[in-house]
Amino acid sequence: MKIDFANLNMQYKLYKKEIDEAIHEVLDSSRYIMGPQISELEKKLAGFTGAEFCIACSSGTDALLLSLMALDIGPGDEVITTPFTFIATAEMIAHVGASPVFADIDQETYNIDPAKIEQAITDKTRAIMPVSLYGQPADMEAINRVAAQKNLPVIEDAAQSFGAEYKGKLSCSLSELGCTSFFPAKPLGCYGDGGAVFTSDSELALKMESLRVHGQNERYCHKYIGIGARMDTIQAAVLLAKLKHYPKEIELRQQVAGMYNFLLDDLVVTPIVRDDRTSVWAQYSIRHKNRDLIQDELKKAGIPTAVHYPMPLHLQECFKYLGYGPGDFPVAEAVSEEIMSLPMNPFLTRPELEYISKALRQALGK
């Protein structure tokens, strides 16, 4: 048996007619930049999350950058984030000239620990940027509470959690700003790069709309120094076609995760999702001391795996100048040594999941 990790091809085949039509409509219209599909998508995405405004943009990375720029964060400022995430989160903080300040993670959810955020706040802190890792929202209520005490904005890096629920609300609408990614392998992906920022603050929304097009407020009048971060119309068309199927796909992902939990609970550390939230399962990540051996054995059985993430950000060469070292964030360090992601997509079948579980059992001699 050969297992597909994200199975994007199956998804395309299933919705091919609608997606092809949507793409051809853009091709026929020749409105490749900022065509009407962009604002249609923004309205639908805002409606989906419950945030008032959505600004579609060129990637999840640029969504983070637009948020930080909108808040005027720059040199001399500190932004608190997690060391256990994809590089873009801390990278964009550094890109605007601010310093990423890390706070360790919770050992069950792998999301930033609100108590550790409190300890990391200084008089230079300008924002808090939690990440809703693997599809499960961070503890946003506790984080918002810590932030409110110091009047700090919270930017949720929701690149992996679009569609996830938290205490009856949806990821991307849980704080001042929420940023997501539509990278193809994300739970809701387009066919290239894409992203979006969400907010219910009209001033921030207006500013980000302008920052996205070189700080322009009228044609060739530039109020801010911005960036070129528009989403391509074709990507908006793909997302509009796929959005219709997304609620069903979330359900299927949750069923796959439930089946994995059932099959693997006694073998490895399976993911923990808190009772007050859901995950959209961007990744299904397990932990085991013998991760490398498991990966090798699964590979032999035709089962692809990945590690998200093998090295926490405070130990990355590019962040050496921040002065962190091994032992500074023990939970993130321990998790990064044992974590691994199994194939996850809405189309995994029960026989495939049983095959993966059997291969894992064999790898561990059980």
Ligand X SMILES: Cc1ncc(COP(=O)(O)O)c(C=O)c1O
Residue from 11, 49, 67, 85 binding ligand X (CB under 6 A)? 85
Q: Is 341 in the site for ligand X (CB under 6 A)?
A: no
Task: Pick from 159, 236, 237, 339 the residue near ligand X by CB under 6 A.
Answer: 159
Query: In angstroms, what is the minimal distance from the CB of 158 to ligand X?
Result: 8
Specify the residue, 138 or 360, whose C-beta has the smaller distance to ligand X: 138
Amino acid at 198: F
Residue number of the CB closest to ligand X reads 60
Q: Does 11 bind ligand X (CB under 6 A)?
A: no
CA 12 to mean position of chain CA atoms: 21
Gap between the Cα atoms of 158 and 143, Å rounded? 14
| Stretch 203-222: interaction string toward ligand X, x if CB under 6 A | --------------------
Tokens 């040594």 appear where? 337
Contact pick of 77, 78, 104, 157 for ligand X (by CB under 6 A): 157
Kindly tell me which residue out of 81, 89, 136, 144 binds ligand X, with binding defined by CB under 6 A: 89
The identity of residue 306, as a single letter, is A
Binding of ligand X by 86 (CB under 6 A): yes
Q: H or E stretch including 127?
A: strand 125-129
CB contact at 8 A, 46 and 246: no
| Binding flag, residue 114, ligand X (CB under 6 A) | no
Burial classification of residue 317, based on how many CB atoms lie within 10 Å of its CB (0-12 exposed, 13-18 middle, 19 or more buried): exposed
Is 55 an interacting residue with respect to ligand X (CB under 6 A)?
Answer: no
Q: Is 131 in the site for ligand X (CB under 6 A)?
A: yes
Q: How many CB atoms lie within 10 A of CB 128?
A: 28
SS3 298: helix
Identify whether the C-beta of residue 135 lies closer than 8 Å to the C-beta of residue 165: no
Among 11, 37, 49, 59, binds ligand X (CB under 6 A): 59
Binding ligand X (rule: CB under 6 A), the pick from 160, 173, 235, 279 is 160
Q: Does 231 bind ligand X (CB under 6 A)?
A: no
Which of 247, 241, 243, 249 lies closest to 345, judged by CA?
A: 249
Nearer to ligand X, 60 or 312 (CB): 60
Q: Is 136 in the site for ligand X (CB under 6 A)?
A: no
Compute how many residues bind ligand X; rule: CB under 6 A. 15
The residue type of 219 is R
Q: Which is nearer to ligand X, 130 or 346 (CB)?
A: 130
Identified binder of ligand X from the candidate list 48, 53, 102, 183, rule CB under 6 A: 183
With CA atoms as reference, report the closest residue to 74 among 126, 34, 146, 20: 126
For 198, other C-beta atoms within 10 Å of its C-beta total 32
How far is Cα 270 from Cα 222, in angstroms, rounded to an integer?
A: 51
156 vs 352 by CB, closer to ligand X = 156
Contact with ligand X (CB under 6 A): which of 3, 45, 88, 332? 88
Task: Tell me the DSSP string of 147-191.
Answer: HHHTT--BEEE-TTTTT-EETTEETTSSSSEEEEE--TTSSS--S
* Least Cβ distance, residue 337 to ligand X (angstroms): 20
Retrieve residue 234's tokens.
């074709």
CB atoms within 10 A of CB 336: 21
CB of 344 to ligand X, least distance (A): 14
Binding site for ligand X (CB under 6 A): 59-61, 85-86, 88-89, 131, 157, 159-160, 181, 183, 193, 195
